[in-house]
Structure 1
Amino acid sequence: MDADAPLLAVDNLTITLPAGRGRTVDIVENVSFRLDGAEIMGLVGESGSGKSMSALAIMGLIDAPGARIAGSIRFRGRELIGLDRRALRALRGAEIAMIFQDPMTALTPVHTVGWQIDEQLRAHQPLSRAGARARTVELLGEMGVPDPRRAADRYPHQLSGGLRQRAMIAMALSCNPSLLIADEPTTALDVTVQAQILDLLRRLRQDFGSSILLITHDMGVVAETCDRTTVLYSGNVAEHGPTDALFRQPAHPYTAALLDSIPPLRGTRPRRLPSIPGAPPAPSARPPGCPFQPRCAYGHVACETRPSLLPIGAQQVACVLPAEGRALPPRAVLSA
């Protein structure tokens, strides 16, 4: 692997699924981003923007009949698209791991939490049953699970949402992967547990040197966790750049609208937070130009042509406003 190459390089990723009656639809269109070593990158956007589908493509978990994946996904310089199943199985869990959105459905209900972590350890490491169980208990303890030996013998439904999430993280980290994909790891958790999970992710980067692709719709989580951020809208990249720069002066109206929906930490709080009118288009009904145009307060004739990603300082933005010399107003950074 080239020392200067990113850990993960996604280039022009397009995911096409059958839509019935011989038709197909592009769920994700020409998405590109990079993830360097020991970096946390946020992948944000509304539901249906293509975040989870992009993650499943990286993991090689899109196997629907008729599905097509085009473009390039390189991990340590190795192309993952088209890799055979045996090679993918060797990578998954050992080198690339994923925390799925809902641990209650991602964990198998008919086996104990400890059995499921033991199974992954023994699949990728030369451990005996006793050795795998000892490592499982150790991992649960490192994740902050109280009485980890007892928790290992419990079924998922016998644990709280926060403990199930910690068990999922323990499973994902059991083989010290270089890349962790965390898909909405704080969804449906109370704010106290959310803060604990985010602190745990930051410590994973510090203690294990892992890179993290954090998928979320919560811009506040991104502000306090991520080094860089990629904003997706309707399966397309709207904006990408360093998190502080992107939060201080977003260049895309969609990014600005997402940030405006968060209560400010400083100054006078508005009585009512602004919302984005309308809803994202269905993948089969995207407008021919900018997909955000129907909901954009700045939309005009030039937006009827699909914009390309253009460099604007440290950021990249798919919008005609910067090219026209028009900038969105700066804003305060949410992170402390």
Structure 2
Amino acid sequence: MQDELFAARDLTIALPGSQGSMIRIVENLSFSLAPREILGIVGESGSGKSMTALAIMGLIDVPGARITGSMLFKGQELVGLGARALRRLRGREIAMIFQDPMTALTPVHTIGWQIDEQIRAHESLSRAGARARTIDLLGEMGVPDPRRAADRYPHQLSGGLRQRAMIAMALSCNPSLLIADEPTTALDVTVQAQILDLLRRLRHNFGSSVLLITHDMGVVAETCDRTLVLYAGNVAERGPTGDIFAHPGHPYARALLASIPPLHGVRPSRLLSIPGQPPSPAERPAGCPFRPRCPQAHAQCEQTPPMVRRGEQDIACVLAAPEPVQA
């Protein structure tokens, strides 16, 4: 599609295992992202969310790792792209807010120095020009007294201010695609709301598309235009967020939604918990990977499920709809 900013097609990420085996962390993943769109990727820990983000950024540095399929960004293929070309894209065109700002930020340099460095790495600005942009960005991110904050070290800032500094760094070169990996983790509810409001405003103020990675379905409902539900490295469901929340088609998506308190109606005395644990990538069951934990599993689930279309939703379940569609 011409309006796609980014499109992954049959993306598979495999890491070396024992005795020369290759363990597939992500399998045949397909999704797209339009300009100024916020796409949420949701799933339990170990579902492949962060690994997908690292693959897009070209940051999987495990020896022997194998990435196949296609990742097109503005028509340019990222799979197999050389290190120098990737460095030109990172920061300038594609940026990432990492999961933990305390470990992602360098503790021995000030916040301002780190943002200045990224700006000067991609643009021909003087130190004074880079610092002026840094202070402006921190101010736009809602950091109080940004000039003073720029001279502080990460440990001297609260978790919310460190997260804002990470977002300012990611936006320093006006990237077209911003990847936010669990940007509200370990933040209190008030700061979470501020960060999510900031992400929603990015597309209007900076024209950025956002790939929001989270395990929090409430964050997805509040923020995202479309949602991709991952389970064990596979697509369980994808489509408009409102449709998935109103009429989830995959048993895993239904279970995730049932595990959060409802905003309206009668509140259950006990929230649903999904029995069992997600499978290890090295021991993924044949057929539907959710089959061992699914209350609706039957013999047909031992076969690889087709991707079926229901309205604008794509659902990897034989019970969802009668007509399969191509991924």
Cα distance in 1, alignment partners of residues 211 and 321 from structure 2? 30
CA contact (8 A) 2:310 2:321 kept: no
- Residue number in structure 2 paired with 1:334: none
Cα distance in 2, alignment partners of residues 311 and 98 from structure 1? 31
Cα distance in 2, alignment partners of residues 324 and 229 from structure 1? 22
- Residue number in structure 1 paired with 2:101: 103
- Residue number in structure 2 paired with 1:234: 232
**CA deviation profile, 1:134-161 (whole Å, cap 9, x unmatched):** 1111100100001111111111111100
* Alignment of 1:78 onto 2:80: no
Structure 1: 5+ residue stretches without partners: 326-336
CA contact (8 A) 1:5 1:76 kept: no
**CA deviation profile, 1:177-203 (whole Å, cap 9, x unmatched):** 000000000000000000000000011
Structure 2: 5+ residue stretches without partners: none
1:115-264 matches, cutoff 5 A? 115-264=113-262
- Residue number in structure 2 paired with 1:331: none
CA contact (8 A) 2:309 2:321 kept: no
**CA deviation profile, 1:160-219 (whole Å, cap 9, x unmatched):** 000000000000000110000000000000000000000000111111111000000000
- Residue number in structure 1 paired with 2:63: 65
Cα RMSD (Å) of the superposition? 1.0
Q: State the AA in 1 paired with 2:22.
A: T
Cα distance in 2, alignment partners of residues 5 and 248 from structure 1? 26
- Residue number in structure 1 paired with 2:87: 89
The Cα of 1:272 is off from its aligned counterpart by: 1.3
CA contact (8 A) 1:290 1:307 kept: yes
Cα distance in 1, alignment partners of residues 171 and 41 from structure 2? 20
Cα distance in 2, alignment partners of residues 183 and 158 from structure 1? 23
**CA deviation profile, 1:234-268 (whole Å, cap 9, x unmatched):** 00000000000010000000000000011001111
* Alignment of 1:8 onto 2:6: yes
Cα distance in 2, alignment partners of residues 80 and 308 from structure 1? 27
The Cα of 1:20 is off from its aligned counterpart by: 2.1
Q: What SS does structure 2 have at the residue aligned with 1:31? A: strand
- Residue number in structure 2 paired with 1:23: 21
CA contact (8 A) 2:6 2:34 kept: yes
CA contact (8 A) 1:5 1:77 kept: no
The Cα of 1:5 is off from its aligned counterpart by: 4.0
TM (norm. structure 1) is 0.95
Q: What SS does structure 2 have at the residue aligned with 1:311? A: strand
